[in-house]
Amino acid sequence: CTSITPWLSFISFSSTGAIFEENAVRDDDIFQLAISDLSLNDDILQSEKITHSVKRIEANNPFQAVQEACELMNQGILALVTSTGCAAANALQSLTDAMHIPHLFIQRNGKGSPRTACHLNPSPDGESYTLAARPPVRLNDVMLTLVTELRWQKFIVFYDADYDIRGLQTFLDQASRQGLDVSLQRVDHNVSKVFTNLFHTMRTEELNRYRDTLRRAMLLMSPRGAQVFIHQAVETNLASKDSHWVYANEEVSDTEIMELVHSSLGRMTIIRQIFPLWRDTNIRCMRNNHRISSLLCDPQEGYLQSLEASNLYLYDSVLMLANAFYSKLEDRKWHSMASLNCMRKSTKPWNGGWSMLDTIQKRRITGLTGMMDFRAEGSNSHVQFEILGTSYSETFGKDVKRLATWDSIRGLNGSLKESRIENGMQGITVKVVTLLEEPFVMVAENILGQPKRYKGFSIDVLDALARLLGFKYEIYQVADGKYGSPTFNGSWNGMIGELISKRADMALSAITITPERESVVDFSKRYLDYSVGILMRKSEDKINIFSLLAPFDLAVWACIAAAIPVVGVMIFILRRVQSVRAQNPPAGHQVASVSTSLQSAIWIVYGAFVQQGGDSILGSVALRIVMGSWWLFTLIVCSSYTANLAAYLTVSRMDNAVRTFQDLSKQMDLAYGTVRDSAVYEYFRVKGTNALEQDSTFAELWRIINKNNGHENSVSSPSEGIRKAKRDSFAFLWDMAVVEYAALTDDDCTLTVAGNSMSSKGYGLALQHGSPYRDLFSQKILELQEKGDLDILKQKWWPRKGRCDLDSHSEAQPEGRALRLHSFAGVFCILAAGLLLACLVAALEIWWSSNRCRREQPKEVTENAAPTQGLYVLPRSCKCCLWHLFILLPPKVHSGRDWAAPCVCGFKTAKV
């Protein structure tokens, strides 16, 4: 008990001394007042006069206490009354037990902290001469009764540095046997430092769990320390409106109670010791036929209320000894005073000590503290506590009233059950702050002169809760148009700031539950899942009738087109050489006749390229090598074309190349961003700057989103982001529910949504920290989910088949797998071009062969000579050109001088 500052005093009647601690000024005053009152009342001591001797000692000095006690014993005393700490009490107990001097011990608590029990040493011969005038500490019993009545299962006990933690051992043992979860937390004198350390050493999740623990707490502190502690807890948002704190201290004044209650937030319960007879005006001034001094009797003086409990027990101890002395005089069993020298080994105990102790133990008086006797194991067992407190109300219970009493005989008298909101909120008006966000909160059409009305998914949820719980609400829009984020000075803006400043009871909109927000406000259970979506324009179908040429680059097609005539010319030359050899075959060899025109050679090459075969080539090994190489080339080209064509047509059927965040981070054509200073903005910041993140996707996303501090790609509001996504080549990253609604209700159905629908977060109702309505709202939201009402409301605002069908762009439909006509338009165009070209060439051949050749035919031939049937004879001037010579004429003509002979051109045959 070294942390408790003791008081020490001795008093003497006729031959009684008094010793007080130097810092106990009131003990000296009360002692003098008690002696004065007894000297003026002849009913008690009659003709006996009271003499006394007062000594002063240092606080909590056992050695000096024993030294001064021995000096008083040497002068001669009848009894000893002390008001000390535990250390001095143990030393004086050993002395009084050895000298058989009755000892009335009054424990004094120091610095205003709650008192803890003193464990005195047992008497060696079993006869203890020390009597506890002040009752043993019963706070543990009262606190255990209280937590049992309130049905607390988990709570924390705060105690200051001056409190002896050993005094809680009995309470902790009994709580452990009942299965209660009790935590201990010491509070240093610098309370603000304690809270600062909490916020620096705990993560957000740990701090939230610690805050939940603080909802049920007991304070074992001085009144001043408790007031500072509560004030700091409220300022740092550790205390809440649904918290319930119990302050236990035997000595706390009415003024201190009101200061504690008005500093607190939520419910406050006070446990303190009371002396009921103070308030009885009929017997206030009389105690056992003894008139009390006017200082203690007159309530207008207020002197009695300013005294400490140890002062009152000191006054009653003087009264007890006076009555015992009077009883000894009546029985004529008076003993001589004890004049002892405790420093000598030969000193014998006082022979009248046991008789005087027995007389004191048999007496019973009614004093300032009520009933006092020492029949229960040598201590005064009469003690009574009152339990004061507040309860939930519109003002959250700032009025203090007595809830119950507790005494050592009857226990608890009264009810301590919390007046909590359990079934409804009838008659309560909730002030709601909101922010417009489609489709959560929107302005409905208003009648002129009527208050503004709202509609939306969140409004429907609020109306459903209002019907179930019976409350009304008033709604208004937040001034700055923000959801809420911390500013540079530590405060919050937006709807969260409205809750922290207590201007609103609830925040309602598309507000997501985040750890940062939950550290300053409370959230209900989520009523809708949350994820981040990508809103962008649908890809436009680009019609390219020559899309079948896309698998190869233009240079590849040019090389292929050039290769066909080159190989054709090569084959033509080799076959021409073969035809020359055919005119002069070796003896015994007959070479087959082959066509050696350039047209037929190119046609053979083209047929092999399109895998349609052609005229068989029987010839030299060189021809076979050329054709083998060409066939291998054709096989590889056609296989590559087929594979690339299948891949190209598959990719071209995809609506957008961006499906996930990974796709978005890899592409460079599409700009993207979100709303600055929003939860989504913070989400990408945390993910993008996390050193433990293995994937670089979010780092790249955050680099683009935060470009130029978010002013280049990000926007100031969700509506601006939706407009920008519809107008420009821009991907807007925002809440999936909001962007889906924007795509479903788009007038032109030009928007689409991508992103991951899986999420561990959600939308909830934001409430003031510690709001008593939080659990009730959460319970009703769970009921709406179980009944399916929330699914019905969700289907109302996010229909599966709305104005625009998102499923057609997010899932591959069976008919979407077929190739469309425009994919093959180029093939039909090529076919049509070939047919038209064939018709044109045919017409040109007819015109060239029939008209022009006839006009240039010699006149004499035309008039005098009948041409051969089916033949036309052309003059030398016709020249027949190389085209007729190498293509139309048979190979047998192409030899020697016949090359320059006149030609005859016909439609069926040509001869020289």
77: DSSP letter: B
- Please, are residues 154 and 213 in contact by the beta-carbon 8 Å criterion? yes
- Rounded distance between C-alpha atoms, residue 523 and residue 240, angstroms: 13
Does the annotation place 529 within a ligand binding site?
no
Instruction: Output the CA angle 293-298-303, nearest 5 degrees.
Output: 80
246: DSSP letter: E
Return the number of other C-beta atoms located less than 10 Å from residue 551's C-beta: 18
Cis omega (within 30 of 0) for bond into 439: yes
- Rounded distance between C-alpha atoms, residue 754 and residue 810, angstroms: 8
Is residue 682 helix, strand or coil?
Answer: helix
Q: Which amino acid is at 899?
A: W
**What's the half-sphere exposure (Cβ side, CA atoms, 13 Å) at 786?**
6
Q: Mind spelling out the 3-state secondary structure of 759-775?
A: CCEEECCEECCCCCCHH
Among candidate residues 875, 865, 872, 907, the one with its CA nearest the CA of residue 888: 907
- Rounded distance between C-alpha atoms, residue 585 and residue 587, angstroms: 6
- In terms of C-beta distances under 8 Å and separation of at least 24 residues, what long-range contacts does 450-456 make, across chains too? 456/797
Residues contacting 352, CB < 8 A, separation 6+: 335, 336, 338
- Rounded distance between C-alpha atoms, residue 591 and residue 582, angstroms: 5
Tokens 């100031």, residue located: 716
Judged by phi (left if over 0) then psi (alpha if -120 to 50, else beta), residue 213 lies in alpha
- Rounded distance between C-alpha atoms, residue 229 and residue 222, angstroms: 10
**Integer angstrom CA distances of residue 586 from 49, 163, 582:** 173, 131, 9
- Rounded distance between C-alpha atoms, residue 142 and residue 411, angstroms: 8
Among candidate residues 55, 47, 45, the one with its CA nearest the CA of residue 9: 55
- Please, are residues 111 and 49 in contact by the beta-carbon 8 Å criterion? no
Q: Identify each DSSP E strand in 653-698 by its residue range.
A: 671-673
Does the annotation place 774 within a ligand binding site?
no
Instruction: Give the containing element (helix H, strand E) for 606.
Output: helix 598-609
Return the number of other C-beta atoms located less than 10 Å from residue 265's C-beta: 20
- Please, are residues 886 and 865 in contact by the beta-carbon 8 Å criterion? no
- Please, are residues 461 and 780 in contact by the beta-carbon 8 Å criterion? no
- Please, are residues 18 and 52 in contact by the beta-carbon 8 Å criterion? yes
- Please, are residues 754 and 534 in contact by the beta-carbon 8 Å criterion? yes
Q: Which amino acid is at 711?
A: H
- Please, are residues 354 and 311 in contact by the beta-carbon 8 Å criterion? no
What would the two tokens of residue 161 be? 């540095």
**Integer angstrom CA distances of residue 9 from 31, 134, 380, 570:** 9, 14, 19, 134
- Rounded distance between C-alpha atoms, residue 853 and residue 910, angstroms: 14
- Please, are residues 872 and 854 in contact by the beta-carbon 8 Å criterion? yes
Among candidate residues 562, 558, 536, the one with its CA nearest the CA of residue 549: 558
Does the annotation place 735 within a ligand binding site?
yes
- Please, are residues 563 and 555 in contact by the beta-carbon 8 Å criterion? no
Instruction: Give the containing element (helix H, strand E) for 290.
Output: strand 290-291
What would the two tokens of residue 166 be? 């050993």
Tokens 């019976």, residue located: 470
**Integer angstrom CA distances of residue 234 from 207, 231, 268, 295:** 15, 5, 13, 40
Which segments are annotated as binding site?
Answer: 512, 517, 735
Which segments are annotated as binding site for L-glutamate?
Answer: 512, 517, 735
